[in-house]
Amino acid sequence: METELVHLGRRLLRAYARKDYLAVNSIAQDYLQAAEQHRNSSHYGNAIHQANTLLGLVHLQEGDVERAATCLLDSARTPGSPQLTAFGPNMLLAAGLLEAGERHSVLRYLKECRKLWKLSFGSLWRWRRQILRGGSPDFGANLSYLTDYKTFG
């Protein structure tokens, strides 16, 4: 049922906003399991992307950069969604990993995101180029897409 995915997504985002990282871990796992039961849902791609992004942010907060990088790549392994196609992926975890020196993982993530974000208008390419030149891109609105519980669903 699609409303189950939307409900779990909102719960996950609220837990993250409260910085209740134990709840984030638990809800994200439930969200991923529910997503697998609803692979034909239009929310499936968002669920995979959001759950892995927020799990990665928690791992990064805990200092586990390697697990955070794995979650970043897992968040791009989704068939996409209308939101991901139009607005692109969330870049909050990628930005945090760049700060932690994980350039290689972020570059791989951006490459994977080309399949998801059909309307990037060159943003992915520009961000990759900036990182390859040693810079940190301004991800702009992509730092908040799909992570604000007030606008999700």
The predicted-structure confidence for 73-84, as pLDDT tens digits, reads as follows: 999 999 999 889
Number of alpha carbons in the 13 Å side-chain half-sphere of residue 105: 23
Smallest CA-to-CA distance from 146 within 64, 60, 46 is with 46
8 Å CB contact between 4 and 34: yes
Confidence of residue 2 (pLDDT cuts 50, 70, 90): low
**pTM for the predicted model, two decimal places:** 0.93
Domains and CATH numbers, the chain: 2-143 (1.25.40)
Position 29 scores a pLDDT of 97
